[in-house]
Amino acid sequence: ATLPYDSDNIFARILRGEIPARKVYEDEHALAFHDINPAAPVHILVIPKGAYVSWDDFSARATDDEIAGFIRAVGHIAREHDLVAPGYRLLANVGGHAGQEVPHLHVHLFGGRPLGPMLA
């Protein structure tokens, strides 16, 4: 991990139930909720329950069970929202060049309209 995990970050607080979120899915390994500032008609954030700063930290330190559970949850949420036929986009910002704002791994799930080119 480039950064130490800060257990007071906003998504850690959502996981602990200290601040509200519009949850769409929860299981042993993952929690998903609507982004507070949506960039598309569907803009869901999927986070692992474990304390991982980023995709880098998660892929290096998480157990195979956590990784499998998290990735299956992302796919499940996309199917549950009928996004597979129209299509959707997954994105994870890692660190400064990507503009990562919240230091708890989150995968953005975008859909509900044609999303245009990747880097506009």
Q: Are 57 and 1 in contact (CB under 8 A)?
A: yes
Closer Cβ to ligand 5GP, 42 or 45, answer by number: 45
Beta bridge partners of 91: 108
Q: Strand ranges (DSSP E) for 1-120?
A: 23-26, 30-34, 42-48, 89-91, 107-111
User: What track of x and - describes contact with ligand 5GP for positions 76 through 105 (by CB under 6 A)?
Assistant: -----------------x-----xxxx---
Calculated CA dihedral for residues 43, 65, 19, 25, nearest 10 degrees? 50
- Closest CB 14 distance from ligand 5GP, rounded Å: 7
Q: Check binding of 21 to ligand 5GP (CB under 6 A).
A: yes
Residue 109's nearest CA partner among 30, 41, 62 is 41
Name the residue type at position 79: R
Closer Cβ to ligand 5GP, 74 or 93, answer by number: 93
Which ranges of the chain would DSSP assign to H, the alpha helix? 10-15, 55-61, 64-80, 95-98
Q: Check binding of 56 to ligand 5GP (CB under 6 A).
A: no
**Residue 106 annotated to the active site:** yes
- Closest CB 59 distance from ligand 5GP, rounded Å: 16
- Closest CB 30 distance from ligand 5GP, rounded Å: 15
The residues that touch ligand 5GP, with contacts defined as CB under 6 A, are 10, 21, 33-37, 45, 93, 99-102
Q: Which amino acids are annotated catalytic?
A: 106
